[in-house]
Structure 1
């Protein structure tokens, strides 16, 4: 159980990729903090982890877009009080509704996407860094998109936020490389049969896509001991091999 004594917080843990990561990591002994705004989805992932005889996770209902700075600070304080330190932080939450021309994007939709996809990862990193720094080794993993660097038309605030998120990950990795043992990397899941993919491409034949569970080895690598010393990298799951 390579992740025994690892406490890992996962945002969007009630979603497809977040839930997949939570189960894969928990099966390797990790204590998972499930963070999501939808309690029924949190409960479903919780039940899957318990049914797998993995360490019982913690559910933490949290609205990344609606929370203020004090809410983030309270989250960090509660995690610190219960665990003392943190060994992993996986940013898996995502806000995407549909492809839209910039000219038709509402201010509300733009703000919501930027809040969840970019501002929330920044705030979480800032408040949780002290707990991550208490670990001998810790890992921060961001989730990007295979099309981010291409900046395709109609990707709107989602596309902008992913481009910015990759830049933020690089900056944070460089800042921490010389002063701590926290590694910072970005995962590109690629096209998989996920709820987000179904929403973005409803007419696509999903039987041709890999299952979400195919990402388990990438999550275990990035958040486990095998990636110690690897930082500032972008891992594409489509070409990833241990």
Structure 2
């Protein structure tokens, strides 16, 4: 479905899944706000969107872990001044440093991972809610992992943050359900041939994994009109069929 004049913010927009979503949504007419701390990756997805003759996106270099509350609010104020309202937020940024036993997990690694994977989605969602509520319909999508249900050994701060993020998303969906304006979804992309997967599972045969582009139709569904009345759901790419 066309997403003309829809403003959607994507965190981790320079990453594999973030850039896949950004390009897919932009090709359908969405105005994308690209959020990432890596400027080179931001420029790459910006160029790809422009080359596709989609609406020109906005690049916003932003360190989710290092930003303070005032900087989050400044981001929200700039979005409101530019677009007046916001129709979507995709939390796609993720930190996974290594699979580590709890007994060996450095404190700074624990804190940094939770900052990116849990605290940042909370802070960003909180400052953006007033702008999302200005829309007739809006979507917040949290990216999680199937491990949130199994809590495997060595998943460390990454595993804990996913479990907590899903809980946060469910609480948020319950609180927003009565207004019927903002829908909240937990998205599990499953194993795909992404840069993060290459780094964390280097010995795996990636030729057997789906390409990142296979997720594009699901991103379009999550932010399109077909999902307007669906909230509080977990969408798993491995079992989802349009």
Give the TM bin, normalised by the shorter chain: over 0.9
1:90 equivalenced with 2:79 (yes/no)? no
Q: C-alpha separation between the residues in 2 aligned to 1:54 and 1:152?
A: 41
Aligned to 1:128: 128
Q: C-alpha separation between the residues in 2 aligned to 1:170 and 1:229?
A: 16
Report if the CA contact (8 A) 2:180-2:229 is conserved: no
RMSD: 0.7
**What's the secondary structure of 2:60's corresponding residue?**
strand
Q: CA-to-partner distance for each residue in 1:67-96, whole Å, 9 max, x for gaps?
A: 000000000000000000000000000011
Structure 1 residue runs without a partner (length 5+)? none
1:52 equivalenced with 2:52 (yes/no)? yes
**What's the secondary structure of 2:213's corresponding residue?**
helix
1:214 equivalenced with 2:206 (yes/no)? no
Aligned to 1:36: 36
In the TM superposition, what are the counterparts of 1:93-132 in structure 2 within 5 Å? 93-132=93-132
1:66 equivalenced with 2:63 (yes/no)? no
**What's the secondary structure of 2:99's corresponding residue?**
coil
Report if the CA contact (8 A) 1:139-1:184 is conserved: yes
Report if the CA contact (8 A) 1:6-1:86 is conserved: yes
In the TM superposition, what are the counterparts of 1:146-165 in structure 2 within 5 Å? 146-165=146-165
Q: C-alpha separation between the residues in 1 aligned to 2:208 and 2:131?
A: 41
Q: C-alpha separation between the residues in 2 aligned to 1:120 and 1:79?
A: 17
TM-score normalised by the chain length of structure 2: 0.99
In the TM superposition, what are the counterparts of 1:220-235 in structure 2 within 5 Å? 220-235=220-235
Q: C-alpha separation between the residues in 2 aligned to 1:180 and 1:76?
A: 22
Q: C-alpha separation between the residues in 1 aligned to 2:214 and 2:224?
A: 17
The 4+ residue runs of structure 1 with deviation greater than 3 A are none
Report if the CA contact (8 A) 1:7-1:88 is conserved: yes
Aligned to 1:178: 178
Q: CA-to-partner distance for each residue in 1:179-232, whole Å, 9 max, x for gaps?
A: 341000010000000011111111000000000000001100011111001000
Q: CA-to-partner distance for each residue in 1:120-174, whole Å, 9 max, x for gaps?
A: 0000110000000000000000000022210000000000000000111000000
Aligned length: 242
1:8 equivalenced with 2:12 (yes/no)? no
Q: C-alpha separation between the residues in 1 aligned to 2:199 and 2:117?
A: 17
Aligned to 1:27: 27
